[in-house]
Amino acid sequence: MSIISSTRHVTASSTATLSQRLVAAIGASFLGACLVYFAGFSHIDAVHNAAHDTRHSSAFPCH
């Protein structure tokens, strides 16, 4: 005799308002721009060399 058990899968849906999504998008864009600016125009050799190939492959000027 086999016992069949059913489990219900409950999906958690989080609803973010438009203003929350907009704030998150603007914040992520600002952080990304700061990181690109820092890596692109840094005079620290370690930072420059770490991102050198990536910058050139995406046509970002660093010299």
Assess if residue 30 is contained within a domain.
Answer: yes
Whether 23 maps to a domain, the answer reads yes
Q: Is residue 28 one of the residues assigned to a domain?
A: yes
Q: Total structural domains in the chain?
A: 1
**Residue 24's pLDDT is what?**
95
In a domain? residue 26: yes
Q: pLDDT band for 58, please (50, 70, 90 cuts).
A: confident
pTM of the model: 0.51
Residue 44 belongs to some domain of the structure: yes
Of residues 42, 38, 36, the one with CA closest to residue 59: 36
pLDDT of 12-50, one tens digit each?
Answer: 556 789 999 999 999 999 998 888 788 777 777 777 777
Residue predicted with more confidence, 5 or 24: 24
Domain, as residue range, for 44: 18-57
Domain presence at residue 8: no
The DSSP line for 10-43 is PPP-----HHHHHHHHHHHHHHHHHHHHHHHH--
What DSSP state is assigned to residue 51?
A: T
